[in-house]
Structure 1
Amino acid sequence: MMMQQKTLWQKSQPWLVTFVVAAIFIWGFTGVPLTGIKSTAGQVFGSIIDGLVHPDWSYLYSGDGEDLVSALLQTLAIAFLGTFMSAVLAVPFGFWAAKTNRKFFSPKSASGKFVLTVVRVFPELVLAIMFIKAVGPGAFAGVLALGFHSVGMMGKLFSEAVENIDRGPNEAIAAAGGSTLDGLTMATFPAVLPEFMNYTLYRFEIAVRSASILGIVGAGGVGAPLIFALSTRAWPRVGMILIGIVVTVTAIDFLSGQIRKRLV
């Protein structure tokens, strides 16, 4: 059997893709002003490493609410409440943005996707600054910032889960005389619930990381003591905080991964 000879376009495609990628990289580097590395960078990096090797263990727990354990618990609380709030609000947004028919254009779905895109535009730090102006500094502003931003992300994921389910059970319920509500409660929700929980747990992992830095702008969590320790060059305390963040995030990732394996 004779091999089909490649056309000129097929032969040049890999080279064209390589050229475009290289051009984008070159354009990206030329657009970023490279000011060089400061002379104190090595000293600061060495101090951070020394702080990780010799952390301030007295800051781990003191019982006065101003220790690392208290800050990490507040970070977890911000991430949990923000994720829970967004998971509840993202359900109606997900159904709004989901395209459940075969039409080329659906106004309902298009408007829902547009709203979710607008919500996702604002980063957590920007939202935290905005909510700090509205409700004052503290953990509540962090919860609102994470919750608002997560609605956009989880709403998009929820809508994709609704779009990808098998429509057979819904059609069978409709053929048997069932209502739209029957199809929603007996077919759609049982099919998408594991995916919803999976995405919620995955978003919680991301929220823990995000909540760790919201304190930099005054939105509660472990970010506030971290930026204070960095500004005062308390490197042993910086090392202790970084170790606490790494351990917490690693434990959350492991537990969430184990739960998600059982859901999917």
Structure 2
Amino acid sequence: MQAMMSNNKPHLSLWRRWNWLVWLIIVAVVYVWAIGGLQFTGLQESAGSVSKSIVHGLVNPDWKYVYNGSGEDLVSLILQTLAIAFLGTIISSLISVPFAFWAARSEKEHYRLRSGSGKVVLTLIRTFPEIVLAIMFIKAVGPGSYAGVLAVSIHSIGMLGKLFSEAIENMDRGAEEAIVSAGGNSPQVFMMATLPTIMPEFISYTLYRFEIAVRSASILGMVGAGGIGTPMIFAIQTRNWPRVGIILLGIVVMVLLIDSLSEQLRKRLI
């Protein structure tokens, strides 16, 4: 028996010594396969002049577009983008709560089928990208902010539901056990123990999702779902690079402010 174990040890030590080389070869093969599948057509003859025009427009933005009182200026459309992201996140955070309890694993054996079905549903919801949902809702309800809100909210349900369910699975059960031992019933356990324990994480995940929704809402307008993306795609199509420059600058400032504010709020919650 000892002889057999001693014979296996060299094989194990050999694998541990050279397993990195095996993984390196696998990664190299994948990279070669991926690069080989790309077709490089080269640069167009006008690439140089177009690039100069883009750079010149980006470094010389159209400051007059910041605010002109027309309702189609940068400030107004950024506020509309924030409204789409905020409303979509609020709707999804509320709807995600029952999905989260549906998908959360339980120690009881007969609840595993329920949890598995909930996770499958949330995965299916997350499968559809927001841009695809926006195009579908535009066909259903018409172009505009309403389609953007629906796209953001539906896609966010899949992500927030997953994060909420993980928070429920990993929560500290000490407070629940204390209330049960004191004679508390299920509603009392939920209101006095479960909800206060998971609420900070729920709010933190919602703020994080709002950051992502702001970026998504900035892009959804490019397919007609409202927000700052609509004038940006028009400016790109007409090669109005100074307009593109001021819009990109506004998006960068908006995202930085939202990220900074959200980070400060999450630090206070957790």
Return the TM-score normalized by structure 1.
0.94
Aligned partner (choices 236, 260, 263) of residue 266 of structure 2: 260
Code of the residue aligned with 2:81 in structure 1: it is: T
Supply the distance in 2 between the matched residues of 1:23 and 1:191 (Cα, whole angstroms): 47
Shift of 1:188: 1.2
Code of the residue aligned with 2:260 in structure 1: it is: F
1:206 alignment counterpart = 212
2:75 alignment counterpart = 69
Tell me which structure has the larger Cα radius of gyration. 2
Is 1:166 paired with 2:172? yes
Is 1:24 paired with 2:30? yes
Shift of 1:103: 4.3
Cα distance change, pair 20–57 in 1 and its aligned pair in 2 (3 A): same
Matched residues, percent identical? Answer: 59
Supply the distance in 1 between the matched residues of 2:18 and 2:141 (Cα, whole angstroms): 58
Cα distance change, pair 104–8 in 1 and its aligned pair in 2 (3 A): farther
Aligned 1:100-139 pairs, distance under 5 A: 100-101=106-107, 103=109, 106-139=112-145
Code of the residue aligned with 1:152 in structure 2: it is: G
Shift of 1:201: 0.5
Cα distance change, pair 33–182 in 1 and its aligned pair in 2 (3 A): farther
Supply the distance in 2 between the matched residues of 1:228 and 1:39 (Cα, whole angstroms): 24
Is 1:48 paired with 2:54? yes
Is 1:36 paired with 2:10? no
Q: Deviations over 1:83-118 (max 9, x none)?
A: 010000111111110002164980111000000000
Aligned residue for 1:99, secondary structure, equals coil
Q: Deviations over 1:202-240 (max 9, x none)?
A: 000000000001111100001110000011111111111
Code of the residue aligned with 1:234 in structure 2: it is: N
Q: Number of paired residues?
A: 261
Aligned residue for 2:107, secondary structure, equals coil
Shift of 1:40: 2.8
Aligned partner (choices 172, 175, 183) of residue 177 of structure 1: 183
Supply the distance in 2 between the matched residues of 1:199 and 1:25 (Cα, whole angstroms): 35
Code of the residue aligned with 2:13 in structure 1: it is: T
Supply the distance in 2 between the matched residues of 1:179 and 1:256 (Cα, whole angstroms): 36
Aligned partner (choices 228, 236, 252) of residue 242 of structure 2: 236
Supply the distance in 1 between the matched residues of 2:42 and 2:107 (Cα, whole angstroms): 55
Bigger shift: 103-112 or 165-174?
Answer: 103-112
Supply the distance in 2 between the matched residues of 1:227 and 1:108 (Cα, whole angstroms): 44
Supply the distance in 2 between the matched residues of 1:41 and 1:158 (Cα, whole angstroms): 47
Q: Deviations over 1:48-86 (max 9, x none)?
A: 221121111111100010111111111000000000100
Structure 1's unaligned 5+ residue stretches are none
Structure 2's unaligned 5+ residue stretches are 1-8
Supply the distance in 1 between the matched residues of 2:107 and 2:43 (Cα, whole angstroms): 55
Bigger shift: 39-48 or 127-136?
Answer: 39-48
Shift of 1:119: 0.2
Supply the distance in 1 between the matched residues of 2:145 and 2:22 (Cα, whole angstroms): 50
Code of the residue aligned with 1:224 in structure 2: it is: T
Supply the distance in 2 between the matched residues of 1:186 and 1:16 (Cα, whole angstroms): 53
Supply the distance in 1 between the matched residues of 2:176 and 2:184 (Cα, whole angstroms): 9
Supply the distance in 1 between the matched residues of 2:198 and 2:178 (Cα, whole angstroms): 17
Supply the distance in 2 between the matched residues of 1:43 and 1:175 (Cα, whole angstroms): 76
Code of the residue aligned with 1:172 in structure 2: it is: A
Aligned residue for 1:106, secondary structure, equals helix
Return the TM-score normalized by structure 2.
0.92
Aligned residue for 1:191, secondary structure, equals helix
Supply the distance in 1 between the matched residues of 2:50 and 2:177 (Cα, whole angstroms): 64
Code of the residue aligned with 2:21 in structure 1: it is: W
Aligned residue for 2:183, secondary structure, equals coil
Shift of 1:36: 2.6
